């Protein structure tokens, strides 16, 4: 009798693990898909003078450039605050559009930094992201309080970045970049653990997978951009 009970629990545990793995596979697949779109669009725009001229003029950003720069923030807010109202297909479409707009926005890095240094920084980012993602998935430690601290730090660097936009302090910029690397490295582990817990619950839907992919996408992109300030070689 006891043996049958243990076998039943073992089957349930295996089934639960499979469900979580399937959910996390969806999340990471969509994240990598969005990153691929962003990278291709960024390189395409940067290598096409006609396209890049639509975003920038001699005076700086064009009206279209400002629209493209600010639109991703609006899409993130839309997916966050209208999550319950949006369908899975709508969330998917918005996420794909978001990755395209981000690619257009990030096309400038190919104009500022060498392709080699961008590739090296991307590899470093992928390595750090991978280590922290695995850590967040396998650790038994509850990272909830740690995530809250990281989120407070994120608010801090956003405020500091706004201040430095006017102050233009190179020292403060270095500090912000260093803290940004630490914060988004930590948030990667926290977000993966949080998504793993969602995978164990009944709320693990396609919409949730897309939103989870967005969270990890943002962690990766921000970590990459902060690291680029350290490892990027300017042209």
**pLDDT tens-digit map of 50-61:** 888 888 877 778
Which has more pLDDT, 120 or 235? 120
Cα separation, 150 vs 157, whole angstroms: 11
- Domains of the chain, by residue range, sit at 2-231
Q: Give the bridge partners for 61, in sequence order.
A: 56
Per residue in 168-190, pLDDT tens?
888 899 999 999 999 999 999 99
Write down the residue that tokens 């996408």 correspond to: 217
Upper half-sphere CA count for residue 116 (Cβ side, 13 Å): 3
């Amino acid at each position: 009798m006891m043996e049958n009970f243990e076998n039943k629990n073992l089957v349930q545990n295996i089934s639960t693990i499979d469900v979580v793995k399937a959910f996390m596979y969806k999340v990471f697949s969509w994240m990598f898909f969005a990153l691929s779109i962003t990278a291709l669009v960024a390189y395409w725009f940067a290598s096409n003078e006609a396209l890049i001229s639509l975003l920038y003029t001699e005076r700086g950003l064009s009206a279209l450039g400002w629209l493209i720069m600010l639109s991703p923030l609006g899409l993130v807010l839309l997916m966050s605050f209208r999550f319950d109202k949006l369908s899975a297909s709508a969330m998917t479409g918005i996420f794909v559009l978001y990755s395209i707009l981000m690619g257009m926005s990030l096309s400038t890095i190919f104009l500022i930094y060498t392709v080699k240094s961008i590739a090296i920084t991307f590899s470093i980012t992928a390595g750090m992201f991978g280590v922290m993602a695995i850590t967040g998935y396998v650790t038994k430690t509850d990272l909830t309080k740690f995530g809250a601290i990281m989120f407070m730090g994120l608010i801090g660097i956003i405020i500091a970045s706004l201040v430095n936009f006017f102050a233009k302090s190179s020292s403060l910029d270095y500090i912000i970049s260093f803290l940004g690397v630490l914060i988004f490295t930590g948030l990667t582990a926290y977000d993966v653990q949080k998504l793993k817990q969602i995978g164990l619950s009944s709320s693990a839907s396609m919409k949730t997978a897309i939103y989870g992919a967005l969270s990890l996408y943002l962690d990766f992109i921000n970590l990459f951009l902060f690291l680029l300030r350290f490892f990027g070689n300017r042209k």
